[in-house]
Amino acid sequence: MSAPTIVWLRDDLRLDDHPALTAAVDRGGPLVVAYLLDDVSPQVRPLGAAARWWLHHSLAALDARLREAGGRLVLRRGPAERVIPALVAEAGAGAVHWSRRASAAREVDARLKAALVGAGVEATSHPGALLHEPWTVRTGQGGPYRVFTPYWRACLARPVRVPLPVPPGLGDAGWVDLASDRLDDWALRPTRPDWADGLRATWTPGELGAAARLDAFVADGLARYDRRDVPAAEATSRLSPHLRFGEISPARIWARLETVDDPGAVANLPRFRAELGWREFAWHLLFHEPDLAVRNHRREFDRFPWVDDPVAAEAWRRGRTGIPLVDAGMHELWATGWMHNRVRMVAASVLVKHLRIDWRVGEAWFWDTLVDADEANNPAGWQWVAGSGADSAPYPRVFNPVLQAEKFDPAGDYVRRWAPEFAGGHARAPIVDLAEGRRAAIAAFESMRRARVDGAAPAGAE
């Protein structure tokens, strides 16, 4: 019998279409399926509060699935380069398999792999989080893409791998009995105060919840996806947090889309696939720019004259801007850990354009409050709105939140649900004059451009 195999889990909390798990089962011998909570290693970004809530429930759901197969989930906490070798020694393992990361944390994986191989342990990484590995999609000149449309065109010309079933031999695998941390001891859920009532009412974390969400979207939501920009329409997939934690793979979603035959749904397939494409593009950017969450993609924005206004930033966070669509979105975020994408763009635009507050302030808040915030999409989205990101638009994009509401929430259904104070006449006056804020944003953009033309050094580089 082969020495035991460890499957090291990160953001891949599922059994279906799990190449690392499948390879471990196929190797033969006893298994250890372990999740390591590593929030201390270099290049690892600690989870925000909403994501920690989701993680607790996703781990509990995965453990239940593994117990049905005769095993269980082993939980450990600490730096990967110390904990994984210790786990190998405890189990007497001969191999470790894991899903690849495209973030800066891949440096941790590379060092660990070298150490394991040097100690005579097989160490193998696998795909699974993306449709295409970021380093495999390149321009004709061999470099990374910086604009979405040509990137996605290149992706559509490439085949998507066929998803794998749950390993048929999983139930027959032997399991190594190792000590495990208690999930409750990790204190991932809020207690004092417990602000997660809305999250519990909105979401079902775990692989089965992800599958049910996909079923519901294909059966109903996809045919209405042409209305995805209408926040009150319930026309989006809401698969993003399940994808973020790897409870479902993009390859499984892609394969399911191939089975759609309803004409209305078929007509919306290209647009929904393009949204999967934006997720891929964000990871493509992060792979080539690991500091995407802290550094401007377009370096000329190092000269942008951001405004330090903690009072306005806090009003924005709490949904007290006096701007109906923005406040509604921030209330939805606080209540459910999620915000409609159109409203995300508008709320972000008000912060970075009308208030001229650094996009990193908003990115950090979304990181802490969104259940679907990941290391690629969150900063890439914020930089796109700020104008500092991968964007071919040569002008400052400034969303008018009033016009956006008139266009996408004309009857006020979304605002009435999430910001009823506006209907009741108890709303505050706007904290910024929208026309003046737009003028100031454009003036700041022009001053940045002039500084570039004049050859001024980036801020902090004198």
What separation in angstroms does the CA of 354 have from each of 229, 317, 346, 387, 398?
22, 15, 11, 13, 8
Domain ranges of the chain: 1-127, 130-164+205-289, 299-451
What band does 72 get if pLDDT is binned at 50, 70 and 90?
Answer: very high
pLDDT in the model for residue 324: 97
The gap from C-alpha 197 to its chain's centroid, in whole angstroms, comes to: 22
Note the pLDDT tens digit of each residue in 180-199.
999 999 999 999 899 999 99
- CATH code, residues 299-451: 1.10.579.10
Distance separating alpha carbons of residues 217 and 349, to the nearest angstrom: 29
461 pLDDT band, cuts 50/70/90, is very low
Mean pLDDT score, 129-154: 96
CA distances from 401 to 195, 325, 404, 411 (A): 28, 7, 5, 15
The count of C-alpha atoms lying within 13 angstroms of the C-alpha of 44, restricted to the half-sphere facing its C-beta, is 17
Lowest mean pLDDT among 73-87, 93-107, 375-389, 448-462: 448-462
Contacts of 81 (CB under 8 A, 6+ apart): 41, 108, 111, 112, 115
Average pLDDT over residues 322-331: 98
- 3-state per-residue secondary structure call for 93-105: CCEEEEECCCCCC
pTM of the complete model: 0.95
pLDDT tier, 451 (very low <50, low <70, confident <90, very high otherwise): confident
So what's the pLDDT on residue 52?
98
198: helix, strand or coil: helix
Token representation of residue 79: 């730096």
Distance CA 135, CA 132 (A): 8
The answer to whether the 1-127 and 130-164+205-289 domains have the same CATH topology is: no
Q: What is the pLDDT of residues 306-320, one digit of tens each?
A: 999 999 999 999 999
Model confidence pLDDT, tens digit, residues 413-449: 999 999 999 988 888 899 999 999 999 999 999 999 8
Q: b/e per residue, 246-273, with b = 16+ CB within 10 A?
A: bbbbbbbbbebbeebeeeebeebeeebb
Please determine, looking at this structure, whether the domain spanning 1-127 carries the CATH number 3.40.50.620.
yes
Average pLDDT over residues 151-175: 96
Question: 454: pLDDT confidence band, cut at 50, 70 and 90?
Answer: low
User: What fold, for 130-164+205-289?
Assistant: 1.25.40
* 459 and 302 Cβ atoms separated by less than 8 Å: yes
At residue 42, the pLDDT reads: 83
How confident is the model at residue 455, as a pLDDT?
A: 54
3-state SS of 104-158 is: CCHHHHHHHHHHHHHCCCEEEEECCCCCCCHHHCCCCCCCCCCCHHHHHHHHHCC
Residue 36 three-state SS: strand
Structural contact between residues 212 and 220, judged by C-beta atoms closer than 8 angstroms: no
pLDDT at 456 over 90: no
Spacing of C-alpha 280 from chain mean position: 11
- The pLDDT confidence band at residue 453, using thresholds 50, 70 and 90, is low
